[in-house]
Amino acid sequence: MRGQIALFAVLIAFSFAVFSTGCQATPKIPVEGAVGPYFVKTIVDSEAAQHLIERQAGRQKEDSPHEEAVKQTAAKLQDRVPSQSDLSELTEEHSVDFAAVVFGQQLTAQPQNQKVQRRFIKNLQHGTELITDEHKRRYVVVVVPGYDYIDTGPQTGANFALPLKLLGEMGMPAIFVEVDPIGTVEENAAELVNVLREKVDPRKRVLLVGASSAGPAIHLALGKLLETNETNRVDAWMNMGGLLGGSHAMDWLSSGFIGPFFRLVVWTTSWRMESFESMRAGESQERLKTLQMPEHIVVLNYVGLSLSGDIADYEFSQYRFLRRYGPNDGFSLLPDMILPGSCSLLAASSDHFFGEDPLIDKKAVAILTTAIQLVEVKPRDPTCAVQDGEADRKDASNGNITRSEDTWSIDWTPERELYRRFLQENFEDQP
């Protein structure tokens, strides 16, 4: 109950911010098309975004006035993922959703991301059957929950309830790290270190997973607090929308004219101001500069595409507030959830709270399966560990990977059909 009241109070704060800054209502334009490996049917905020999504599925209108914008964007970015500066520029020139689609398109087009995205979608078809008894003997999944997971976890998915239930049913060993639900990044990182040292069987290899505020805590533990001999036991980290670069929403809530109101909310709900301050963008980006990730650890980022038609009602005010900065998932800017030099999976029709996805348990198992496959490639597949992308470009001709210069013409048809089949097996009404 406390968490629900707090969410409502924060919603009022963001609604007031949107109103007071004169933000216009977000346009609502229906669209059916594709982004990367997914068919999408949603609402977007501009005809330019509509055209781009239709274009990716071969459904674009003839002689569209927005085709020139697409060509100019492709020529400017070529094979790289847009920076936050690029996304701000695209937002200003076109719209937030246009920038978000470009981000998703370019992210999935990276050779290393193509590889894991194709693996992930194939793994969705197999459920739990690719997790073997040997995997269950060798690995332990260490789960770090998100902020306020006890009170708001049922709404946000921060408690990992569905994935943990499925892991239990399939007999996969898992340890739930009982961090302070309203703790700071530093406190939760310290608790994770304690669990890894004291509660994990030393014979087991560790697969870490965390969402939202757990992301920076895991990163701090791996990149600074643990000794080398301790990180050597960690094989993979599945970063589910982790706030690695913090949230500009936290900066705004804890400062300016809204600061006193938010401090009152924090006081009445027993939240702690220092916890929010540890997730501010400024502090988070300074923290990032001090961390050095062990190169052997496979890192998979799971990032919601977060188009305006896919944002939950109770998150939409935060989303609208953050639109001034560019594409976001209702809590963080999209680039701020990706660890440089790692691999990324795009989540279709998702915002920050993956718990809203009724299939998140099945998708979590597919993410886990993909991570194990990457870990067990012999010799270890380097594509999730490279820092400059050169190895990916050299290997782009192997297998089913498209060369980087073809990022706007990748054939995702097999993956789109596989994913549609996966949805049709679970839901009746799919595009």
Model confidence at 395: pLDDT above 90: no
Q: Tokens standing for 241? A: 């929308």
What's phi and psi for 359, nearest 5 deg?
A: -105, 15
What's phi and psi for 313, nearest 5 deg?
A: -55, -45
Average per-residue pLDDT in the chain?
86
Overall average pLDDT of the 110-138 stretch = 95
pLDDT reported for residue 402: 41
Model confidence at 18: pLDDT above 70: no
Overall average pLDDT of the 128-146 stretch = 97
- Identify whether the C-beta of residue 247 lies closer than 8 Å to the C-beta of residue 221: no
pLDDT reported for residue 397: 29
Overall average pLDDT of the 110-114 stretch = 93
pLDDT (tens digit per residue) in 264-311: 777 777 778 898 889 999 999 999 999 999 999 999 999 998 899 998
Model confidence at 404: pLDDT above 80: no
At 291, is the secondary structure helix, strand, or coil?
Answer: coil
d(CA 265, CA 248): 18
pLDDT reported for residue 82: 96
- Residue ranges of the domains in the chain? 112-396
* Cβ neighbour number for residue 339 with a 10 Å cutoff: 23
Q: Could you say which architecture CATH assigns to the domain 112-396?
A: 3-Layer(aba) Sandwich (3.40)
What type of residue sits at position 256? G
pLDDT (tens digit per residue) in 302-341: 999 889 999 887 677 788 889 999 999 988 999 999 998 8
pLDDT (tens digit per residue) in 189-198: 999 999 999 9
pLDDT reported for residue 301: 97
Model confidence at 393: pLDDT above 80: no
Confidence band for 9, pLDDT divided at 50, 70 and 90: very low
- Identify whether the C-beta of residue 265 lies closer than 8 Å to the C-beta of residue 13: yes
